[in-house]
Amino acid sequence: MKSVYIHQLFAFRFRNFDTLKIELSPKINVFFGKNGHGKTNLLEAISLASSFKAIRPAKNRDLILFDQEQSRIKASIAGHDHFNVEVDVFLQGKKVCISGKSVKSASAINHKLAVITFVPDDLHIVTGGASFRRQLLDQTANGLFPIYAALYRRFEQAILQRNRLLKTPGSSQQELEAFNQVFVQTAAPLIKARHAAIRILLPEFERNLAHISGNSISANIAYESIDVTKQDSEETIQTSLWEKLKTLQTEERFRKTTLLGPHLDDINITMGTHPARHTASRGQARAIVLALKMAQMHCVASVRELTPILLLDDVLGELDQNNAQRLLETIKEIDAQTFITTTQLELLPDLCRDYKAFEIHQGTIV
C-alpha cells in the first residue's frame, strides 16, 4: 500500500485567509471553530491542492480574498512520493503546476493522489436528485481511474458543441452526424468506466451496509444508463448509443438539446424491488449513504493500492454516535490522512482522540 499525505499547506489570499502556513499530521487533522470563520475554506484549499477541484462549485472570484485579483495555494506532498503542488487562481481561470511543471488536466494529479470528500450534501444521495448520485459516481471513477478526468473533459466539450449545434438554426443533418459521432466516441469510455466503478463498489457497499445495519438492511446499486450489460465493450456501448440517438433524433431537434448521455445517467439504489428514495426511512437512507462513502474509501485504497486523502466537512456531527464511530474505524483501518471540520471538539467520537487540532478564528489559525 502506497501512502502519500499533505505535509505542508500554504494559502495566500485564498477566500478569507490572507496568509496561512500549516504543518499537517499524516493521520487525522481537525479544524474547529465557529461557523463562518473559515473551517470549510481551509478544506477547500486542501481539495484544490489535492484534486484541482473545489468541494462545492465556486466561481473563481469567490476563491480569492475580497478586493484581490489572485490567490495561491501551495502544498508539499510527502510519504511514498514527494512533490509540490501549486494552484494559482485568477479571476479568469486557474493555473496548476506539479513540481514546477504546468499541467492541463486534473488527470495529472489524480494519478498521484486520490481524494474522497464527504459533505452534508452527500446525505441527499439516496433521497435527492440524480446529480448527487452522479457526483458520487464521478468521484469514485476519478479515484479508481486517473484517466477519467481527461475523458470527462473531452466529453463535456463534445456535449457543449453538440448542444449549441442543436440550437443553431439552419444547421445541416450532415454536420449533426459528425458531432453525433464525436459524442458517441467520447461518451462510450465514460459509460464503460462508470459501469466498472459500480462493479467494484457493489460488494464493498453490501459488506459495509450489512456491518452498519447489523444485517438489517440490504440494498442494491446499479448504474442506470443506456441498455447494456455490464460486460459490454466500448464498441457495443457505442452501437447502443447510436441506436438510442436515432430514436431521439426528432425530439432532440425539437427540444434543441442532447437527451441522453453520461451527464443525464443515474445510479439506481433499490431496497428489495422498490427504489430506496421512496421506501427508505431517514435512518436507513443515512446508513446507505454511509455505506456508499465507506465503500468508496475501501475500493480506492485497495484497487489503487494508494491510501486516499479524506475530506470530511461537518458530517460527523450529522451522524449518530454509532455511525460516526464506524466511519472513524474505517478511516483508521485504511490509515488515510483525514481532514475533519467541526464546530466543537467535544462532538468528536471517543475513537478520535489521536489527532492534530487547529482552531480557526476569523481567517487565522489561533
Partner 1 sequence: MLSEDPIKHLVEQLAKLPGIGERTALRLVLHMLSSERDSVPTLAAALMEAAERVHECSCCHMLTALDVLCSTCISISRDRSVVCVVATVQDLMALEATNDYKGLYHVLHGTLGPMEGIGPKELRIASFLSRITDSNREIKEVIIATPPNVEGEATALYLAGQMSGLKVNITRIASGVPVGGDLQFADRLTLSRALHLRQRF
Q: Which residue ranges make up the site for partner 1 (CB under 8 A)?
A: 104-105, 107-108, 111, 146-147, 150-151, 154, 157-158, 160-162, 164-165, 167-168, 171-172, 174-175, 177-179, 181-182, 185-186
CA 66/CA 365 separation, integer angstroms: 19
Nearest approach in angstroms of CB 175 to partner 1 is 6
Beta bridge partners of 118: 312
Nearest approach in angstroms of CB 174 to partner 1 is 6
Nearest approach in angstroms of CB 307 to partner 1 is 21
Nearest approach in angstroms of CB 187 to partner 1 is 12
Task: Give the C-alpha distances (Å, rounded to integers) separating 348 from 47, 227, 320, 338, 342.
Answer: 22, 45, 11, 14, 8
Nearest approach in angstroms of CB 157 to partner 1 is 4
Residue number, 16 or 84, with CB nearest to partner 1: 84
> Quick one: DSSP state of residue 74?
E
Q: Are 18 and 349 contacting, i.e. CB atoms less than 8 angstroms apart?
A: no
Residue number, 150 or 351, with CB nearest to partner 1: 150
Site of grid cell 467520537:
349
- Using alpha carbons, select from 310, 274, 340 the residue that is nearest to residue 113: 310
Residue number, 103 or 347, with CB nearest to partner 1: 103
Residue number, 23 or 177, with CB nearest to partner 1: 177
CA 162/CA 156 separation, integer angstroms: 10
Task: Give the C-alpha distances (Å, rounded to integers) separating 363 from 32, 41, 360.
Answer: 12, 9, 7
Residue number, 162 or 304, with CB nearest to partner 1: 162
Residue number, 131 or 168, with CB nearest to partner 1: 168
CA 300/CA 1 separation, integer angstroms: 11
Nearest approach in angstroms of CB 20 to partner 1 is 30
What are the φ/ψ torsions at residue 4 (nearest 5 degrees)?
Answer: -125, 145
Residue number, 168 or 249, with CB nearest to partner 1: 168
Angle at alpha carbon of residue 347, lines to 341 and 335, rounded to 5°: 60
C-alpha cell at 48: 484544490
CA 48/CA 311 separation, integer angstroms: 11
Q: Is 66 helix (H, G, I), strand (E, B) or coil?
A: coil
Nearest approach in angstroms of CB 110 to partner 1 is 9
